[in-house]
Each structure stands twice: as structure tokens, then as C-alpha cells.
Amino acid sequence: MSTSAPARARQDQIFSLPDGRALTFAEYGSSTGTPVLYFHGFPSSRLEASATDKLALRRRLRIIAIDRPGFGLSTPQHGRTILDWVTDVQNFAAGMKIDRFAVLGLSGGGPYALACAYGLPRGMLTGIGLFASGPPWEAGVEHLERYRRVMGWLAKRMPGVLRRCLDGVVRVVRWIMRTGFVVRRVEGWLEKQAQIQEQKQKEEKGVEMEGIGEKGEGKMMSRSGKRSPSERREDLYHLLLNEPFRQGAGPTVQETVLLSSPDWGFRFQDVKCEVPVRIWHGAKDANAPVSMIRYMAERLPNCIYREYEDDTHYTMFKHLEEALSELVPGKAEHAGLKTA
């Protein structure tokens, strides 16, 4: 990966759990900001949260993204459950000396954020967010696309077959991504995106870097935007293919079993927290059908549900800063937002 050394130091940190397992984690935003533990999607890794760096700096947030067992360099945990993540998070927070924090789960990380809302001690959480969350299969598998149902069935009945298939797919995709045609197309697209972002920053007159001076974080971010297309391409490959599958497809199969289970280890009615569970979801999300998310929201005792009628699973990112402003209110909080 071609990211600068200071960035790598923040992205490749290791925490040792009491049982000897390791959790890889990354930090983004302000090192002295309000802590938000970020739970990545599926299959993904802590590097997914790198896209939040600038907005976290703006909002004075310290976003800490943790790899779940088996992803990135986090030690696999045989037979783990979704609720086991609650123990890992509690031990992580204690070891990092973080007394209170918010949790934000994106996509496949959503159920793990909800598990923390259920299982962590009262008063520990300052906010609970599920953004484009993975759906509860107890709401009815008939709502899901056929290939997702097949994948869930294979993970439970023929895990070895699914693992070998996924490993093969990853190898083929890695090879395709190195071909000249794809390299040129990807680099061209990345260069265009960089130009759009640069123009946007000019129009905003540098507001993204305003007031940032602590420990050179602002300077590090401004340098990162000057990488070559090939460097950005390598970073993209690392984010999408290398880190999520660093330990093979086994962890993906294991997590498929957990997320597709009709029983996450707790009832939604029993998630009783002092702060509300906030859910942001696109009405056109085919990965996590909105009917399944509504089913979950209706059963949570303290829930604020926001639905975006024109968004899919993959167009929700533009609403992330708005979601963070509601999860951790501050000076930059948007006004006049309606909740359902």
C-alpha cells in the first residue's frame, strides 16, 4: 500500500485482547476528538473508514475502525457469535482508556452496533448508529435477492465449498484488476474523481482544513490528495481485495452464517438504552431491503429511523456526515432535519 508512513501508522495499529487475540484498528479524524467506534461492512476492513477522515476532522471526531475477527490482521475466533463482539469492544475500550463513546455500524457492521446497544453496560454509549445496515433475516428471507439466500444456505450447509469458491473468485478478480485495460480504466476514473474533489475544495475555499493544526493532521491529509493515479489505484485494491481477504475467505463464510441467522442472540424488544438507536437507510436498497429494516426499527423500544426515498445501498455515503452530525451533535450540526 502506498499511503504515507504517518497514515500507515494510524491505520495499522494492533490491540491485544485479554485472551491473547489481536484486533487491528485504524484511527481517522482528530486524535483528540469525540470517540466513535466504527464497525466496517461485509466483507471489508478498518480501511473502509478512511473515507471519513476529512469529515471527521471537520467535526472534531476521533473515528476508530476495528477489524472484526479474521478480517485484516485481527485474529480469527472459532465459533464466535455476534454478541461476542460486545466483549471485544468492551475490552478494547477499557484498554484504550475510552470511558464513553458512540458506535456506528455500516452495512454488515450494523448488527454489531445493535449488539453493543444491547450488551454494553448502561451509560457507556453516547450514540448508536446503523447506517445502511445489514438486515435481520428474521424479517423474512423472501425479501432478499436469490443469490444472497443461496450464499446463506451454502455458508451453513457447505461452508468448505463456499470458501473455496470465494477464494477462487478473489484470485480471478485480482488477476483481472492487474490487466492493462482495467488498470487504465480504473486510473482514469480515479483521476477524474480527484479533479472533481479538487474543484469542490476550491469552491469551498479550503473550509475542510480550517482550524486543523493538531499534530500535523491537516498537513497529512492535504499531502494525501497529491498521490499519483497508480498509487491511488493500489490503495483501492488494498481496500477492496487485499485487506478483507488477507486471511482468505473463511472469515467471510463465518460472518455470512452470523449475519444470515434469524437469531442474532438478542431480541430487538430487549435493546433498551439511554440513547436512541438511530437508523439511516435507503428505500431502494436491494442489499438490505427496506421492509426488513422497517421491521427492525418498529421493534426497537427507542429508535429514530430516517429513510431516504431515492437512495440505494451504494448511494448512501453522501448522507454520512449528516448522520454523524446526529449521532454526535456539535457546532456543525445541521438544523431542521426531520425524523420518522
Percent of the chain with pLDDT over 90: 74
Residue 61 DSSP SS3: strand
State residue 4's pLDDT score. Answer: 53
Render pLDDT for 93-118 as a digit per residue (tens, 0 to 9): 999 999 999 999 999 999 999 999 99
Mean pLDDT confidence for 273-279 = 95
Q: Give 73's contacts (C-beta < 8 A, 6+ positions apart).
A: 12, 14, 22, 24, 67, 246
Q: How far is CA 222 from CA 39, 54, 209, in A?
A: 26, 10, 8
Categorize the per-residue pLDDT at 319 as very low, low, confident or very high, splitting at 50, 70 and 90. Answer: very high
Categorize the per-residue pLDDT at 52 as very low, low, confident or very high, splitting at 50, 70 and 90. Answer: very high
For the chain, domain boundaries: 13-206+228-327
Would you say residue 8 has pLDDT above 90? no
State residue 205's pLDDT score. Answer: 54
Q: Which long-range contacts (CB under 8 A, 24 or more apart) does 268-272 make?
A: 268/114, 268/136, 268/296, 268/299, 268/300, 269/299, 269/300, 269/301, 270/118, 271/114, 271/117, 271/118, 271/300, 271/301, 271/302, 272/301, 272/302
Render pLDDT for 20-41 as a digit per residue (tens, 0 to 9): 999 999 999 999 999 999 999 9
Q: Sort strands 277-282 and 22-29 into parallel, antiparallel or unpaired.
A: unpaired
Would you say residue 198 has pLDDT above 50? yes
Render pLDDT for 219-270 as a digit per residue (tens, 0 to 9): 333 334 467 888 888 888 888 888 999 999 999 999 999 999 999 999 999 9
CB atoms within 10 A of CB 121: 8
User: Which residue is associated with the grid cell 428505500?
Assistant: 283
Task: State the Cα–Cα distance between residues 6 and 244, nearest whole angstrom.
Answer: 22
Percent of the chain with pLDDT over 70: 87
DSSP code at position 43:
T
Task: Out of 12-26, 211-225, 316-330, pick the least confident.
Answer: 211-225
Cell readout for 30 is 482528530
Would you say residue 292 has pLDDT above 90? yes
- Max distance between CA atoms of the chain, in angstroms, equals 56
Render pLDDT for 140-172 as a digit per residue (tens, 0 to 9): 999 999 999 999 999 999 999 999 999 999 999
Q: Give 191's contacts (C-beta < 8 A, 6+ positions apart).
A: 229
State residue 339's pLDDT score. Answer: 36
DSSP 184-220: HHHHHHHHHHHHHHHHHHHHTTTGGGTT--GGGHHHH
Give this prediction's pTM.
0.86
Task: State the Cα–Cα distance between residues 191 and 184, nearest whole angstrom.
Answer: 10
Mean pLDDT rounded to a whole number for the chain: 88
CATH class label, 13-206+228-327? alpha beta
Q: Give 65's contacts (C-beta < 8 A, 6+ positions apart).
A: 25, 26, 27, 28, 37, 38, 39, 40, 46, 47, 48, 49
